[in-house]
Amino acid sequence: MAIDVYLNFNGNTREVIEFYADVFGLDKPQIMTFGDTPPDPSFPLPEEAKNLVMHARLSISGSTVMFSDVFPGMPYVAGNNISLSLVSKDIDEVKSAFHKLKEGGKVGMELQETFWSKCYGNLEDKFGIQWQFNYDNGETVY
């Protein structure tokens, strides 16, 4: 299990990632844009979202730092653009932590299968901390 940092930005994530990769002497990072995701006719992707960063990660001094742009129309508040991400190869651990942390909190996305994980969800705990939960059985895309 690992607790990783997840940073959100308002349209300039690619610049942020490239800057941090340069600062820390890292290889060019893989970047997944919203336009790279499988299409869903029920939720057509707005044109302005296609080139925004959906997900990228850097390994900085042994820590994983993940990044994304906020989706157009979603709120962005500088200073509140950080969340903690529990990443585990144990699906029971993911489910247990999610269900305990949601008590008194607010669920943003119930645990569910996504195209990148068999089990992903997010919430704000009762203390206002944003959490993401990701089961990583080695099949994750990014």
Each residue's pLDDT, cut to its tens digit, for the chain (142 residues) gives 678 899 999 999 999 999 899 988 999 999 999 999 988 888 899 999 999 999 999 998 788 999 999 998 888 887 778 888 888 888 998 999 999 989 999 999 999 999 888 999 999 988 788 889 999 877 655 4
Q: Give the pLDDT score at 111.
A: 96
Cα–Cα distance, 97 to 63 (Å, whole number): 21
In the structure encoding, which two tokens stand for residue 63, read together?
A: 């820590």
Q: Is the pTM of this model over 0.85?
A: no
Cα–Cα distance, 66 to 77 (Å, whole number): 18
